[in-house]
Structure 1
Amino acid sequence: MLGFVRSASPSALIIAIGLLVGVSFTLSKYVAMSDVPAFLALFWQVAVASAALLGLLFATRITPPTAPRYIGYYLGAGLLGVSLPALIGYVVLEHITTGFYSALVTLSPMFTFAITAMVERRMLPLHRLLGLLIGFAGISLATLRGLDTSAIEPTWILLALSGPFVLASGNVFRSRVYPAGADPMALAAGTLFLQLALIGATLLVSGRLAEIAALKPMVFAAITGIGLITAISYALTFEVQRRTDGVGFSQVGYFATLSGITFGAIAFREELSLAFIAALLLIFLGLAITSGHLSRSHFRQAAGLPRFRRCRPRPNPLH
């Protein structure tokens, strides 16, 4: 992994990934509206991402490990973190708006918190839940107008809801099964290479491999952009996962939604309201609390209050 990435804080990387994912939502919407089969779009997305990471591997002389435990990790991380979420996105974005889907993705942190608590059979620290709830309140404020579901069939809403659940499952899987000491770039490349092989084999068996060349230039350009974002964001994902857990990483969903709103404002000249600015502040506050940058000791220091320590009783010399 590049030096400046290793030196960046997990919070900064989470924000960067969220911004990239938000842009990919908009591009995925364009691809979905172009009547491109979801499996075909996924093939090109993973192919471009794999090619980009392959170039980085040659430059850094890193080789993905091929031991059985790594192959299992590549398979689980790829299905839960790449293929299934992308397929769900390509399918549902043809029937629902980008803003609504982005808003649903913000459920991923709450799902991640719940799944982690169930898997570890313990209640996670309350300050982390507080940070997630503050971030969720912020994103709800930003997407209040985009939650009108009256024109959307319940089937597509349920399918769209499976997206954040799969993402949450991927967050927990990568965190719990992360191979100790592994290079994040090697893990990202191995994960994408295996997914490309599986998708290519599926297209070959189904007799649809010849369709991969039947794409319009603008659609292919959009998928290329999604693939490059996938390569960069996934490499950053494994770096973040190396230094934090699934609950902390899951807050990518909040920034992905805000990125989509911001990108829409730039591309379509939509105005940013005061509610959006307030939402942004709430999300940053929630991230700071969940990641531990803000704690009770920080609030005491900011208020100028002394820090009290619990004193042990002194032994009685008469005893």
Structure 2
Amino acid sequence: MFASIQQRLALPPKAIIWGLLTANGFLIALMLALAKTATAYGVPAITYAFWQTLIAGSVLLLCSANIRRVLDKRLTTYFVISGLTGIAIPNAIAFFLVTKLGAGFTGIMYALPPIFTFLIATTMGLEKRSWTKLAGLSVAVSACAWIVLQRHSEMSQSNGLWFALGLVIPAALSIGNVYRSVAWPGQTRPMTLAAGTLLASAAALGVLAGLSGTPLIAPEFGLRFVPLIFLQGLLTALTYYCGFELQKRSSPVFYSQLGAVAAVFGLIIGVAWFHEQYSLTIWLGALTVIVGLRLSNRAPQK
């Protein structure tokens, strides 16, 4: 699909991956905004995440030219681990926290995976330690800590455990990033991997909903929930398709900038859509996070 578009428009590969990065970051931030709207109707976070991933996975499965590949037992482990770490766990937490801490702040958590990914990769010996990366990550971590402290002081009714829970989002995403890089199945299309990952996530969320007694369908959700979740499902399908295409076409360093883009869009959407208010220190902190991540992702000079 993207190859044909690239041929028609004669766009250079670099422009394609930058477009994917920007679009994917915006879609992630938009998903959080839609989730906040849905949960305002009384829809549990697990329920919303279940239908979101089930619809998205089903759409990509139908669009896939090789449905049997998604059902390949040899890919089951990949789909389960990728689905849990990359979608089910972080999204369920994010959809819960977005009603407590706001769309902008929750989006900041998506800017942190490069930090956790770097720590995991260096510990496993997958990447060499770099003073430039260390300096950049130190700046980003300090800025994120400052944002948390500032946001916590502005929200008198906030529970400190919510902020600690938010750190599970980048931790899970980072584990998923490392795993996908190491275990990426050869000769498998990004759409197939995205479909299988989303459906595995939906299955895990369905089991979690059953164990926790969370209803997947209830009259009190209202009819407004139906078009909203279908829109979310379509956006999610596009988001994860773009994400797998981006991961296939770019380097891990370039891909790691996705969270920072999503964080910026998250703050903008939080202000424009929900009229959230952020102090100047939070905006400066968000900018510092991006600067730190950009510094950590700079290629070493030869």
Q: Structure 1 length as normaliser, TM-score? A: 0.74
Secondary structure, aligned partner of 1:120: coil
Aligned to 2:82, the other structure's residue is in SS state: helix
Q: 1:12 maps to which residue?
A: 19
For residues 298 and 92 of structure 2, the distance between their equivalents in structure 1, rounded to whole angstroms, comes to 30
Q: CA deviation at 1:116?
A: 1.2
Aligned pair in 2 of structure 1 residues 149, 273: CA closer, same or farther (>3 Å)? closer
Aligned to 2:41: 34
**Residues 30-62 of structure 1: per-residue CA shift (max 9 Å, x gap):** 2233321222112211122123313422xxx23
Please state whether the residue corresponding to 1:211 is helix, strand or coil.
coil
Give the partner amino acid of 1:28: A
Q: Name the % identity.
A: 28
1:38-94: CA deviation from partner (whole Å, max 9, x where unpaired): 22112211122123313422xxx2333444431111111100111111111122233
Mean Cα deviation higher: 211-220 or 99-108? 211-220
Q: Which residue of 2 aligns with 1:175?
A: 181
Q: Contact 1:111–1:165 at 8 Å: present in 2 too?
A: yes
In the TM superposition, residue 168 of structure 1 has moved relative to its aligned partner by 1.4
Aligned residue for 1:315? Answer: none
Aligned to 1:259: 265
Q: Equivalent residue for 2:109? A: 104
Of residues 249-258 and 73-82 in structure 1, the stretch that sits farther from structure 2 once superposed is: 249-258
Alignment-derived partner of residue 2 in structure 1? 2
Corresponding residue of 2:99:
94
Give the distance between the partners of 2:276 and 2:87, measured in 1 at CA. 30
Cα distance change, pair 170–210 in 1 and its aligned pair in 2 (3 A): closer
Question: Quick check: 162-171 or 199-208, which moved more?
Answer: 199-208
Contact 2:49 2:92 in 1 (8 A): yes
Aligned residues: 292
In structure 1, the residue matched to 2:192 is 186
Does structure 1 retain, via aligned residues, the 8 Å contact 2:49–2:91?
Answer: yes
Q: 1:126 to 1:111 in 2, by over 3 A?
A: same
CA contact (8 A) 2:88 2:202 kept: no
| Structure exhibiting the larger radius of gyration computed from Cα positions | 1
The amino acid of 2:106's aligned partner reads Y
1:95 match: secondary structure: helix
Change (3 A) 1:62 1:156: same
Q: Indicate the SS of the match to 1:73.
A: helix
Deviates more, 1:117-126 or 1:224-233: 117-126
CA contact (8 A) 1:17 1:252 kept: yes
Of 214, 219, 228, 2:225 maps to 219
C-alpha contact (below 8 Å) 1:133/1:286 kept by paired residues: no
Indicate yes or no: 2:223 matched with 1:232: no
SS in 1 for 2:269: helix
Amino acid corresponding to residue 196 of structure 1 in structure 2: A
CA contact under 8 A between 1:139 and 1:254: conserved in structure 2? no
Match in the other structure for 1:62: 66
Any gaps of 5 or more consecutive residues in structure 1?
298-319
Change beyond 3 A, Cα 1:72–1:149: farther
Q: Distance in 1 between matches of 2:16 and 2:296?
A: 15
> Which consecutive residues of structure 2, in runs of 5 or more, have no partner in the other structure?
8-12
Alpha-carbon spacing, 1:269–1:199, altered in 2? closer, same or farther (3 Å): closer
Question: Normalised by the size of structure 2, how large is the TM-score?
Answer: 0.78
Aligned to 1:305: none
Partner of 2:87 in structure 1?
82
Letter in 2 for 1:71: T
AA of the residue aligned to 2:20: L
CA distance in 2, matches of 1:5, 1:129: 36
Secondary structure, aligned partner of 1:34? coil
CA separation of 1:35 and 1:110: change in aligned 2, threshold 3 A? same
Task: Give the AA of the match of 2:56.
Answer: A
| Two-structure CA RMSD over aligned residues (Å) | 3.7
Counterpart in the other structure of 1:317: none
In 2, Cα distance between equivalents of 1:208 and 1:147: 29
